[in-house]
């Protein structure tokens, strides 16, 4: 009995020591930071006069250890609330209109906020262990984990002993095999792991879907994150397109980020983007196959970065979205 008490005491002391070490490392670590103002303008066009059920879902920017959002405002002719995605914890702006829109057949929604973004890197956060890792091991609709994917993962990682070594081997494989390309919308940007393997090209969505498939097939939790890139060489301007990245989980290190498409585009940063992501981005949502509460569509969203709308129970696509930023 005394030995058990002694063992428990030793484990508690070790745990307290680890937490203290993490805090010291965090205090001494130097991260690059960037602050900017973001404005997103959404225009719904050609709305019919007989609206009796309009629903709109928009992602709400993340606030966490690496990204602080403040002074959030929303201007809209519609009632709105903030709901939470039950699977991934994404916050979602939910807008609704149950009566006809007066005067015009267009409607505008404007959101704005300030962001203080910090470079993500060592030391990773071990003070709050992930409780539900099983969801990051399961397949998604376009992100399989068995069959050809698992066979390839075993081939890529042959001789590698640790999960860190295995994920690095997968990272290197994807950079060496894939070509960054936007030339085929039927392949590039879909985030279909098997399609990416077939054509060996794509953009960030495709690179990271394949990484997640391969990692999960080996029992390594991995997740998808998406937002917008902020040009590093500009003070202000329009943001053209989204950007995504991935993270994998190790027990002794926490969530480790990879940005494989950026590493491929910038070979000089190949080592950096395994274990780091820079401050030139905004994180909005996590996960694939997003189920939107109250939506009539039975098909989950492949990923969620742009507004989704339903009019009278059917998907409404006549939406323009523009995102702009300005350094603070």
CATH of the domain at 162: 3.10.620.30
In a domain, 97, yes or no: yes
Assigned domain for 288 exists: no
One domain, residues 269 and 147: yes
pLDDT of residue 132: 83
Over the chain (328 residues), the average pLDDT of each successive run of 10 is 58 47 45 95 87 90 95 94 95 86 78 96 64 92 96 97 97 98 94 97 98 98 97 95 97 93 97 96 97 90 96 91 97
Q: What are phi and psi of 141, to 5 degrees?
A: -55, -40
H helix and E strand count, the chain: 6, 16
pLDDT confidence of residue 4: 62
Same domain, 238 and 161: yes
For the chain, state the CA radius of gyration. Answer: 22
Pair 155, 267 in one domain: yes
pLDDT at 32: 92
Claim to verify: residue 161 and residue 269 sit in the same structural domain: yes
Both 69 and 142 in a single domain? Answer: no
pTM of the model: 0.88
Q: How many domains does the chain have?
A: 2
Closest CA to 87 of 140, 135, 128: 135
Domain that holds residue 56: 33-118+297-327
Residue 3: predicted pLDDT:
64
State which H helix or E strand residue 17 sits in: helix 2-28
pLDDT computed for residue 18 by the predictor: 40
Residue 199 located in a structural domain: yes
pLDDT at residue 219 in the model? 97
Report yes or no on 292 lying in a domain: no
Residues 75 and 158 in one domain: no
Distance CA 286, CA 132 (A): 14
Q: Write down how long the chain is.
A: 328
CA dihedral (156, 159, 165, 166) in degrees, to 10, reads 40
The CA distance from 276 to 257, in Å, is 6
Q: What CATH number corresponds to the domain at position 54?
A: 2.60.40.2250
**Separation between Cα atoms, residue 142 and residue 210, nearest integer Å:** 10
Q: Dig out the tokens for 319 from the structure.
A: 């939406």
């Amino acid at each position: 009995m005394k030995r058990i008490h002694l063992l428990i005491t030793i484990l508690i002391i070790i745990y307290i020591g680890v937490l203290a070490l993490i805090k010291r490392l965090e205090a001494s670590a130097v991260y690059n930071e960037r602050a900017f103002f973001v404005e997103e303008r959404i225009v719904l066009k050609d709305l019919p006069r007989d609206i009796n059920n309009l629903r709109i879902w928009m992602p709400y920017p993340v606030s966490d250890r690496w990204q602080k959002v403040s002074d959030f405002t929303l201007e809209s002719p519609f009632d709105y609330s903030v709901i939470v995605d039950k699977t991934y914890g994404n916050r979602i702006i939910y807008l609704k209109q149950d009566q006809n829109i007066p005067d015009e057949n267009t409607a505008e929604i404007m959101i704005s906020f300030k962001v203080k973004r910090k470079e993500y890197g060592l030391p990773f956060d071990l003070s709050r262990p992930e409780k539900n890792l099983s969801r990051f091991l399961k397949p998604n609709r376009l992100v399989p984990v068995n069959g050809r994917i698992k066979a390839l993962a075993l081939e890529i990682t042959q001789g590698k002993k640790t999960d860190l070594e295995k994920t690095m081997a997968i990272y290197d494989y994807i950079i060496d095999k894939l070509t960054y390309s936007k030339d085929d919308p039927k392949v590039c940007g879909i985030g279909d792991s098997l399609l990416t393997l077939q054509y060996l090209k794509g953009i960030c969505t495709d690179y990271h879907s394949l990484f997640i498939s391969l990692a999960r097939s080996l029992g390594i939790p991995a997740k998808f994150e998406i937002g917008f890139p902020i040009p590093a060489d500009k003070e202000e301007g329009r943001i053209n397109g989204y950007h995504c990245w991935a993270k994998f989980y190790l027990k002794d290190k926490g969530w480790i980020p990879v940005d494989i498409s950026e590493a491929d585009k910038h070979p000089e940063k190949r080592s950096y983007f395994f274990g780091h992501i820079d401050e030139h981005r905004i994180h909005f949502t996590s996960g694939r196959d997003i189920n939107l509460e109250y939506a009539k569509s039975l098909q989950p969203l492949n990923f969620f970065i742009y507004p989704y709308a339903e009019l009278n129970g059917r998907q409404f696509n006549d939406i323009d979205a523009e995102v702009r930023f300005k350094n603070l």
